[in-house]
Amino acid sequence: MSSLAALCYLASSVLFILAIYGLASPKTAVNGNRFGIIGMALAIFTTLFLLDDINNKYLIGIAIASGAIIGTVIALKVKMTAMPQLVAGFHSLVGLAAVLIAGVALWIPESFDIIHEGKIHGSSLFEMGLGSIIGAITFSGSIIAFLKLNGNMSGAPLRFKGQKYFGILLVLVTLALLVLFLNNASKEAFIAISILAFVIGLFLIMPIGGADMPVVVSMLNSYSGWAASGIGFTLGNSLLIITGAIVGASGAILSYIMCKAMNRSIINVIFGSFGESAVASSAGGQEDDRVVKQGSAEDVAFLMKNASSVIIVPGYGMAVAGAQHAVSEMGNLLEEHGVDVKYAIHPVAGRMPGHMNVLLAEAGIDYEKVFELEEINGDFKGTDIVYVIGANDVTNPAAKTDKTSPIYGMPILDVEKAGTVVFVKRGMAAGYAGVQNELFFRDNTMMVFGDAKKVTENIVKEFD
């Protein structure tokens, strides 16, 4: 590699680091994206035109252009509600690419310059084996996450008797095959390792419930980074090593932060299929014939206009309805009436980290008015009205009181402490975790049934 190519790769790595740093906050996310785009463009240019040992550049260029076109079409068509499953789908492709590259390196090692005295380097075999395992787990795990997020598979944990021991057996057999592969570079062992790793990925993600799915998306992001980094060693590509390590480390840190915010053990989330037993919620998924206090948009508008403070809590239902712009307009009108308006976001609101932040930013809501759980939880007690739009699990008191609940122990937004809690929902269905919200039946709760966007727009009309 020439000095110029190495320098360009270093510049790309710095730009990727700046991209990750920028994406840490909605205020700097746009610039973070720009840094990432520039870094990737520089990396592609360097690989195609500054490296001496790259053949079939036209075919590579066609592949890159095809991928860019497909990616652009998907990005233009995808809705914000489908962003989590889109991310999971893209993670799966990264994992599959790692497996395929490892396979190609094993079948034609001379093209990768990893042969020494007629044999593949032991370190290269380890990189290929480990990269294939991580990549295969990422691929199949991401597919399951996609199906759960897209509604093609139940969000409830899927377990069977003896699953723990079956999972342990899979891991032990895979490790034994890895040792065999390192000793004789057996292609059959490599294929078996990859297949077993695909199966492990399935059993890692299927038992994880919907409440933990945001952590899964972040965790799979980390896996895809480590898979790319591992294959970078096989390819001898410093940029891929650095970039993969950045993605892997940042994803792992985010997963840990989210688990901490949810009072979850990251070990239990990652290895849930091998150790956790299913817990049954006392209310999850069952029809409830208890009476709730219902209201209308007119009732909510009257209460809000006579309030001094309102906290808006957005959830996935807001994303599904596309109600963020109506929420922004409602917030602006409330402020014009002299009402203090804040927005409260739970770390796992929506289906992926930052989902609600992006939606509120898209609607032009001031970042200074948006608060995370630990910043605003103490404010609910002195708030007149909390407007919960499409959120459920993140406000459910069962997380603090019901030890049989799958969300028990997860910190929640203490909306129950407000003077009046208004829930906007389509119906009485349980949340993504399959748990009924006991707060719906409290005396200080008002349920407004209907499409979140239409209900909010009707509230705005009542202000006028």
User: 173: burial class by Cβ within 10 Å (0-12, 13-18, 19+)?
Assistant: middle
Q: How many Å apart are CA 448 and CA 388, to the nearest integer?
A: 10
Give every CB contact of residue 284 below 8 A, 6+ residues apart in sequence. Answer: 405, 406, 430, 433, 434, 435, 436
Identify the active-site residue in 393, 402, 414, 451: 393
Cβ-contact 269, 216 below 8 angstroms: yes
| 349 residue type, one letter | A
User: 320: burial class by Cβ within 10 Å (0-12, 13-18, 19+)?
Assistant: middle
Count CA atoms within 13 Å of residue 186 on its CB side: 14
Q: Output the CA–CA distances (angstroms, integers) from residue 276 to 50, 144, 149, 165, 207, in the order listed.
A: 51, 18, 21, 12, 9
Angle at 448 (CA atoms; ends 444, 449), nearest 5 degrees:
140
Residue 451 known to be catalytic: no
Q: Output the CA–CA distances (angstroms, integers) from residue 352 to 174, 206, 220, 254, 412, in the order listed.
A: 31, 17, 12, 11, 17
Distance of CA 445 to the CA centre of its chain: 31
Residues classed as catalytic: 393
